[in-house]
Amino acid sequence: MTMPSIYSVILWIVLNISCCRPQCVTETLNSATFSITVIDHTEMESIDCIRMPYEMTFPREKVLVPYKKILFEGDPSNIVSTKVFSEMESDTKDIFEIEEHPRGEFEFGFMLEWGCNQTYIFPQRVHISVTAPSLNPYLSVSTLVEGQAGRLRCSAPRSCSRREHILLKWTKSDGQSTEIYGDENGYDRQFNRSRHRHRQYIPIYPTADYHNTNITCVAKYKYDAVETTVTLNVKFLPKILNDSHCEVKGELLVCVCISWGNPLPPIIWPLKPLTDYSISSSSTNQTVISTITLSAVEHQNTTMKCISRNELGQTEADILIQNSTEETQLTYPSEEKKGIGRALPWITVVCFSLNLVLITVLIIGIYQRRKMKQKKLSEETNTYASLRKTEVEDEYSIIPSQPN
């Protein structure tokens, strides 16, 4: 290296230091020349954008372009938003807008930065209370009729970040839930640009089993979820249930017809002019139960017709007439009587024979006692006694043979 080149390098360094150093000197600032007007405290919901309008003034001869307006949360090191100005603004009013925050209390502050990392932190703070969303989704259901397509609509407020997820849940009567619609993208294309509510139209093909079940529209946001439940009312034709039955009970025919429908379907018994009958009916949970009682003689048929009607139409059923089990039980005692009647002659014979046996045993007993007495009385009468014995024995041998 030559001497001139060494000098030129030294000169360059000296010049550099002398020209730039003054710019980076941290000046003592007069805080009275800086001011900011903000709203001290605001409340918002966890789906809202946090908007903080402010009016800022600063010494324009000191804060030169480019400068930055910085929003920090809690500590100045925790910067949440920065705006860079390469030209001096004409308006002192501006607004900071940041994405939704979870429920809780938050504190924000403002800072100016210019030159060689020269900063001014405004002493004022903005306090934000974030609450749960106040609006639930709006869920509407068209009139539902079994076999006809219906439509569900679910609308939910959009969130600041627009990353909500809308889904529909179907809860059956057993309490089990299934997701019937989920919007995976978080928002639907049609309403992508809308600042308004988020809408979903979903076709539904209801059956009678959907009646009284619940549909829930759930809007899941970044920090919260809201939902609305609607209990479905599905209109359906009457269905005559197979618990319906007819029975002959002695002189009477009793028929029960059970029909399930929405609206509630009254039951009619189409009878030819009958003189004597009575009908009683009751209803619960879209089910009508009608009981008719009439003379079994008047209705000589194997079936009984039952008709059930509502505004959607009518359904009829021919209920088979069954012989009641009670009646078969009633026939049992008469059969037993018949049995006894048939057995009667035999019983008489057995009784008669038993009587005879008893009588003979008695006679033998008496005879043997006498014989003993006679033996003791005399030995001369022996021949006479033996004669008598044979006579008695003959009699005895004849008697049992009589019934045969």
Smallest gap from Cβ 306 to ligand NAG, in A, equals: 11
Q: Side chain identity at 240, as an amino acid letter?
A: I
> Which of these, 259, 247, 305, 303, lies nearest to 283 by C-alpha position?
259
Residue 365: helix, strand or coil by DSSP? helix
> Is 119 one of the binding residues for ligand NAG (CB under 6 A)?
no
Per CB under 6 A, contacts with ligand NAG among 43-102 are none
Beta strands in 142-190 (DSSP E): 144-145, 150-156, 165-171, 177-182
- How far apart CA 9 and CA 2 sit, in angstroms, is 11
- Closest among 202, 221, 115 to 164, alpha carbons compared: 221
- Chosen residue from 78, 129, 323, 378 binding ligand NAG by CB under 6 A: 323
360 binds ligand NAG (CB under 6 A): no
**175 near ligand NAG, judged by CB under 6 A:** yes
Which one among 18, 28, 117, 397 touches ligand NAG, defined by CB under 6 A? Answer: 117
Of 124 and 229, CB closest to ligand NAG: 229
Residue 61: partners with Cβ closer than 8 Å, 6 or more residues away: none
- Which two three-digit tokens encode residue 194? 């809308």
Are 118 and 26 a contacting pair, CB within 8 Å? Answer: yes
- Strand, helix or coil for residue 283: strand
361-368's contacts with Cβ under 8 Å and 24+ in sequence apart are 363/396, 364/396, 367/392
Q: Is 171 in the site for ligand NAG (CB under 6 A)?
A: yes
Contact between 173 and ligand NAG (CB under 6 A)?
A: yes
| Under rule CB under 6 A, residue 287 binds ligand NAG | no
Stretch that binds ligand NAG, among 4-12, 68-76, 195-203, 317-325 (CB under 6 A): 317-325
* DSSP secondary structure, 223-282, as one string: S-EEEEEEE--EEEEEEE-TT-EEEEETTEEEEEEEEEEES---EE---SS-SSEEEEEE
The verdict on 285 binding ligand NAG (CB under 6 A) reads: no
Measured from the CB atom, the residue of 142 and 301 that comes closer to ligand NAG is 301
Find the part of the chain contacting ligand NAG (CB under 6 A) among 52-60, 284-292, 298-306, 344-352. Answer: 298-306
Give the x-and-dash track for 182-221 against ligand NAG (CB under 6 A).
--------------------------------x-------
Binding region for ligand NAG (CB under 6 A) out of 62-70, 81-89, 169-177, 203-211: 169-177
Other C-beta atoms lying within 10 Å of the C-beta of residue 42: 18
Among 33, 136, 229, 283, binds ligand NAG (CB under 6 A): 229
Smallest separation (angstroms) from ligand NAG to the CB of 111: 13
Q: Which is nearer to ligand NAG, 330 or 354 (CB)?
A: 330
Residues within the interface to ligand NAG (CB under 6 A): 116-117, 171, 173, 175, 214, 229, 231, 242, 272, 300-301, 303, 318, 322-323
